Amino acid sequence: MTRTKGDHEARRRDASEAVWRVLDAHGFGGLTLRAVAAELGATTGLLTHYFPTKRDLVAHALDLLEQRTNGRTRRVADDDRSALRVALLDVLPLTAEAATSNRIWVSSWDPALADPGLSHDHARRYARSRDTLRDLVAAAQQRGELVAGDPADIAAGAQSFVLGLVVQALFEPRAFPPRRQVALLDAYLATLSSA
């Protein structure tokens, strides 16, 4: 009982990472407790010990994935001159790790669209992301770097552009190598620049 709470959370994190690996390889259609347990080198008994239900396991895995992604995103200070560009670049699957995250995320759209609760969570996430972008856009406008216009609309447009680029890059990594993704994003940003 003196066991620290850290062990408990560490096991839940390990299980979540196993979920990521299964989702990355087989999607939600192949996400079974047994598959996760095998990936973890354990049995379903471990999973049910740490999570009351499969839904909770998946929810925790996705929450953790979002946390990790957000943590990586804030690696650059917000007052950087190219903060908007960096924020958008962080969404793209430019590394293998980011590609995995994006694949899981895109896959989760299927169960999310079918479940009102999950759908709402996704909607909230994207709304928050757009709010962040909107602030960056407004700041850039004040610095005279960006064209005029409703910052919320520009943020929604930029979010659209990056999201769609993620999808295309996931399905056609050959046609959309990191270099081209960055080039396309920069071309898009150039059209928004006031220079």
Partner DNA sequence: TCATTCGCACAACAACTGTTATGACTAACC
Partner DNA sequence: GGTTAGTCATAACAGTTGTTGTGCGAATGA
At its nearest, how many Å lie between a second copy and the CB of residue 168? 6
**Residue numbers 128-187 binding a second copy by CB under 8 A:** 149, 153, 156-157, 159-168, 170-172, 175-176, 183-184, 187
187 binds DNA (CB under 7 A): no
C-alpha to C-alpha distance for 178 and 88, rounded to whole angstroms: 13
Enter the tokens of residue 194: 């006031």
Of 118, 123, 156, which is closest to residue 137 (Cα–Cα)?
Answer: 156
At its nearest, how many Å lie between a second copy and the CB of residue 71? 23
43 binds DNA (CB under 7 A): yes
Our CA angle for 23, 25, 28, nearest 5°, is 35
Our CA angle for 79, 80, 86, nearest 5°, is 120
Q: Choose the one of a second copy, DNA, none that binds residue 52, judging by a C-beta under 5 to 8 angstroms depending on kind.
A: DNA
Chain residues that interact with DNA, rule: CB under 7 A:
1-3, 7-8, 11, 31-35, 37, 42-46, 48-50, 52-55
